[in-house]
């Protein structure tokens, strides 16, 4: 059985944020998803849903400790 070709009908963008602790990376990411949502290109991600990695909480490097 032949594989179906992957249909690329939406733009795909990966965005990485690099910066020092408490310099706004999570806030920027939340803002980007909000702007893209208004254009129908992404789901809004609240700050709290982004800043919840268990590894960060364990190390005490997140604001939501």
- pLDDT tens digits for range 1-56: 678 888 888 778 788 889 887 888 888 989 999 999 999 888 898 888 877 777 76
**24 φψ region: left (φ > 0), alpha (ψ -120 to 50), beta (else):** left
Q: What is the pLDDT of residue 49?
A: 82
Per-residue confidence band for 62, with pLDDT thresholds at 50, 70 and 90: low
E strands in the chain = none
Per-residue confidence band for 64, with pLDDT thresholds at 50, 70 and 90: low
Q: What is the pLDDT of residue 51?
A: 74
Enumerate residues 6+ apart whose C-beta is below 8 A from 47.
26, 27, 30
Enumerate residues 6+ apart whose C-beta is below 8 A from 61.
21
């Amino acid at each position: 059985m032949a594989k179906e070709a992957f249909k690329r009908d939406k733009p795909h963008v990966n965005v990485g944020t690099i910066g020092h602790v408490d310099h706004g990376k999570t806030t920027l990411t939340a803002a980007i998803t909000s702007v893209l949502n208004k254009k129908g290109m992404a789901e809004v991600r609240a700050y709290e849903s982004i800043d919840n990695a268990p590894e960060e909480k364990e190390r005490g490097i997140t604001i939501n400790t």
